[in-house]
Structure 1
Amino acid sequence: MSTRTAPLPVHNPGTGEVLGEIADSTPEQLTAALAAAGRGQRAMAALPAHERAQLLLRTADLIESEAGDLARLLAAENGKPLFQTTEEVKAAIRIFRGYAGEATRLFGRQIPLDAVPGLERHLAVTVREPLGPVAALVPFNYPVELYAHKAAAALAAGNAVLVHPPVRCPLTLVRIAELVARAGAPEGAHQLLTGGVHVSQELASRPGAAAVSLTGSTHAGREIARRAADTLKKVHLELGGNDALIVCDDADVEAAAEAVVLGRLARGNGQICCAVKRVYVQDGIHDAFVDALLAGAAKLTVGDQLADGTDVGPLISEQAAERVEAAVAALVSDGARKAAGGGRRGAFSDPTVLVDVPADSPALAEEIFGPVAPVARFTDPFDAVRMANESPYGLQAAVFTQDIRRAFQLAHRLDVGGVVINGSTALRAENLPFGGPKDTGGSAEGLHDTALEFTRQKTIVVMEALG
């Protein structure tokens, strides 16, 4: 007997307007999708590299042809200001085109066997083959861009992909899935499975997928990894971050403050895993930095994400804003002082600056997913590195200094996946590896990395080939 579920509404988080609804995929639908993915996998694997590249290029062209409408829909359902979702759609187009190139560069190796006595006359080569169907679990904060990193990489490598879009903002990806089908993806090779968290959990648990790729919270990553372990799936995780920005006493104070305003308070409404989550400022310029930060924060406009001039829109839900409000209250309880912002109206959270934050506050160790900038002091830059490294996360960090020697010394000691010198941590270029150690998951995602992650190596030895 088939299970029936009620459709799930999708709302504008700022106004509550219902934008549409999606199906909540049933276990039977997931079973059918996994079976279709097996057939789609065989069809994708049979496509030569140049045809896979053309499929991705056609998809990019179709997304570009509807870029304005897609950006507006994404802003409405996600809450980010329209100018930011416009840039996100552009990034997805670049990513599809970038993976089209990677489809033709999945190189194998020739390995000299004369390194081993007795094997001098034999020839060994490796080839890259598709891994198998990939489950792509997409978060709400940058759904179109992060979907592109997963789905385009899987298709480039000759795999089928099963996409679980975020339940609160799936509509833009529903439309993009229609464009992928129009571009000529083989039946079953690209499927969108809408619904609640059970969809991700089932895709991780069931044997029909060879890999699961998740961008999300560390809590979700642990759960997905546990479920995937029973079928020995490949697990690719890009999880949380509590990124530190260290401002040394020789820094450009205005530039450092602007990096926090844009990289924490404005971009993504603060809902970015690599946003500036903690700011450590050296004593000598602390007061000047705080003044510049407060001046920058005061210029930000909070409001309708579809209106011109809006810098900060609503968070993804009122519950998300409530969690940010509680995190601010915890920091204040630990001794921090609210210097700006801190208000909440429904899903809207005012950009907040906290000063006198105790570096040992338990609340500072937690990831705050919203527009909050906690500022703590330090005297010795290496103490700032120690404090930054005490976080369980390891995504990115930033250092502001005019001393290149100091910049490299601190970068070398920071236990993270990426360090930005004289810029915000909220930097992600699609051609760079992105990820980090510890509770951030340990994986790296990017044009030159992810397609390889979705392949397996096969070694072929020809005996006496050189005899």
Structure 2
Amino acid sequence: MEAQPFYLSGAWESSTEKRLVRNPYDGNIVGLVAYADRSVVLRAIQLADQVRPIMQSLTSYVRSQVLSTVADRIADHKDDLARLITLESGKPIKGSRVEVDRAVVTFKTASEEAKRIEGELLPMDVIPGQPNHWGLVRRFPVGIVAGITPFNSPLNLVAHKIAPALASGNCVIIKPAPQAPLTALFLARLFDGCDLPPGVLSIIPCSNADAEPLVTDDRIGMLSFTGSTVGWKLKEKAPHKVVTLELGGNAGIIVHEDADLDLAVQRAVAGAFSSSGQRCISVQRIYLHRPIAGRFCDRFIPAVSRLVIADPLDPRTDIGPLITEDAAIRTLRWVEEAVAAGAELVCGGTRDGSIVAPTVLFNPPTFASVCREEVFAPVVILREYDTFEDAIDEVNDSHFGLQAGVFTRDMQRIFYSFEKLQVGGVMINEASTYRMEHMPYGGMKLSGLGREGIRYAIETMTERKILVLNLDQAGSPVKQDAVR
């Protein structure tokens, strides 16, 4: 089998070290990937640093056109990309197709935002003695953005690093997930023939140890990391650069008595079990107002039981594998611990290899791992509450704070949720999994630092610089003309 080379500064290169990529559903080989070593990572940084001034001088029109072209090419290769996402990550094909569509929107949005990086004109005459002083504020790219991405959305989460970085005039180096690097390398091919200077983009599969310069090298202006809470340790290694962390969560949703129960059930099922729960904003905790808890469960449990577990390439499939069998074993251990501590196992709680059946637990103790930690699997817990304030407190009783959902029609409760929930995003009459590419996205507490979403990422990937103009000089042409 021929190895897929890596993409180093606009050129394809190989190496002696090769690693297999396997389908998490059946273990079959999906591909063979050339792995870079530390010297390759350092070359990527060096080449990006050399081309950085050229990239910064590229016009917004050219940057916008490149991003628009890539968006069109992604759309043209939708079927191939969706199949590849499913083969290497195990995501059901219908979810992979949605991911490709979202990646198109990500690049299209970045194409538009590339032309909207605006500045400010500030009057500086706010104290006596400063007539005709003005400040001109512009945003300048940080230079080189390093992106480290996870397996669960191997196209769109890579897009959320590359697209805003290029839109704002930065070079970018990506370390894709070791479980799913082929999709990112496919994306690199779609940049061939675009008007980017060589050296601007690198996509380099490598080990964590060999990728360390992406975190520690002073030539890297920003680190953008999506993954587990290990991101906080990376931040400690990069104290002098800009760092964005999009980390884990154990998202909660609240269903109050005035909610549209059919809507709440539909969104809760999708939010808890899409991508087999392998999403950082997956619905993990559902809090039910006691008066409607029974009616919700009477609709929710049958809907969960109807989910289809099968080959993820089958368009009917709802539940595919977890990324590894070890992840499935750990998930079942946490479920068993919760049951031993008093939780009721309503459905699921079994596995077949790396596939975990959709699992619902009722009333586990709050100290259980399924409540406290990020399960990252098709597992959801149900708990009842008496007052809306109690529900808010329970959602907040977490080390995480990424997103939350609230189902209610009452405006006072809506704004109370917005004020009191300790999360980066509050979704009203939507599950915690709601995300659009242009919205600010990120969390509080252990869930991260900074925000993604194209315009918000561009703000982080650029730095403000001010030019102060003194137009009141005694010898200025304007004053001389006045004397004449």
The TM-score range, normalised by the shorter chain, is over 0.9
Change in Cα spacing, 1:465 to 1:336, as seen in structure 2 (3 Å) is farther
> Contact 1:102 / 1:448 at 8 angstroms: preserved in 2?
yes
Aligned partner (choices 112, 122, 133) of residue 101 of structure 1: 112
For 1:343 and 1:17, the matched residues in 2 are separated by 23
Which residue in 2 is equivalent to 1:50?
Answer: 61
Distance apart, 1:43 and its partner CA: 2.3
For 2:165 and 2:365, the matched residues in 1 are separated by 44
Are 2:194 and 1:183 equivalent residues in the alignment?
yes
Which residue in 1 is equivalent to 2:257?
Answer: 249
Distance apart, 1:380 and its partner CA: 1.1
> Contact 1:401 / 1:407 at 8 angstroms: preserved in 2?
yes
Change in Cα spacing, 1:250 to 1:120, as seen in structure 2 (3 Å) is same
1:19-418 counterparts in 2 under 5 A? 19-218=30-229, 220-229=230-239, 232-265=240-273, 267-418=274-425
Distance apart, 1:442 and its partner CA: 2.6
For 2:419 and 2:138, the matched residues in 1 are separated by 35
Change in Cα spacing, 1:61 to 1:329, as seen in structure 2 (3 Å) is same
| Partner SS state of residue 430, structure 1 | coil
Amino acid at match of 2:135: A
For 2:472 and 2:63, the matched residues in 1 are separated by 32
Q: Deviations over 1:4-25 (max 9, x none)?
A: 7631110000010111121222
Q: Once the two structures are aligned, what percentage of the paired residues are identical?
A: 36
Distance apart, 1:270 and its partner CA: 0.5
> Contact 1:193 / 1:199 at 8 angstroms: preserved in 2?
no
Structure 2 residue ranges without an equivalent (≥5) = 1-14, 474-478, 480-484
Change in Cα spacing, 1:311 to 1:362, as seen in structure 2 (3 Å) is closer
For 1:169 and 1:203, the matched residues in 2 are separated by 19
Distance apart, 1:199 and its partner CA: 4.3
Amino acid at match of 1:455: T
> Contact 1:358 / 1:376 at 8 angstroms: preserved in 2?
no
Which residue in 1 is equivalent to 2:6?
Answer: none
Distance apart, 1:309 and its partner CA: 0.6
| Partner SS state of residue 191, structure 1 | strand
Distance apart, 1:208 and its partner CA: 2.5
Amino acid at match of 2:254: I
Q: Deviations over 1:40-65 (max 9, x none)?
A: 32221121110111111111122222
Aligned partner (choices 442, 446, 453) of residue 453 of structure 2: 446
| Partner SS state of residue 286, structure 2 | strand
Give the alignment's TM-score, normalised by structure 1.
0.95
| Partner SS state of residue 318, structure 2 | coil
| Partner SS state of residue 311, structure 2 | coil
For 1:5 and 1:342, the matched residues in 2 are separated by 43
1 or 2, which has the higher helix percentage? 1
Distance apart, 1:256 and its partner CA: 1.6
| Partner SS state of residue 95, structure 2 | helix
For 1:401 and 1:127, the matched residues in 2 are separated by 43
Q: Size of the alignment, in residue pairs?
A: 461
For 1:211 and 1:165, the matched residues in 2 are separated by 16
Give the alignment's TM-score, normalised by structure 2.
0.92
For 1:191 and 1:452, the matched residues in 2 are separated by 22
Out of 241-250 and 353-362, give the one that drifted further: 353-362
For 1:246 and 1:394, the matched residues in 2 are separated by 15
For 2:417 and 2:462, the matched residues in 1 are separated by 35
Change in Cα spacing, 1:200 to 1:330, as seen in structure 2 (3 Å) is farther
Out of 355-364 and 311-320, give the one that drifted further: 355-364
Distance apart, 1:465 and its partner CA: 5.3
For 2:224 and 2:458, the matched residues in 1 are separated by 12
Change in Cα spacing, 1:204 to 1:60, as seen in structure 2 (3 Å) is same
Distance apart, 1:182 and its partner CA: 2.9
Distance apart, 1:456 and its partner CA: 1.0
Which residue in 2 is equivalent to 1:457?
Answer: 464
Out of 279-288 and 9-18, give the one that drifted further: 279-288
For 1:356 and 1:458, the matched residues in 2 are separated by 53
For 2:326 and 2:130, the matched residues in 1 are separated by 64
Q: Deviations over 1:105-139 (max 9, x none)?
A: 11111111111322222111111111110001111
> Contact 1:123 / 1:465 at 8 angstroms: preserved in 2?
no
Bigger Cα Rg: 2
Amino acid at match of 2:358: P
> Contact 2:62 / 2:195 at 8 angstroms: preserved in 1?
no
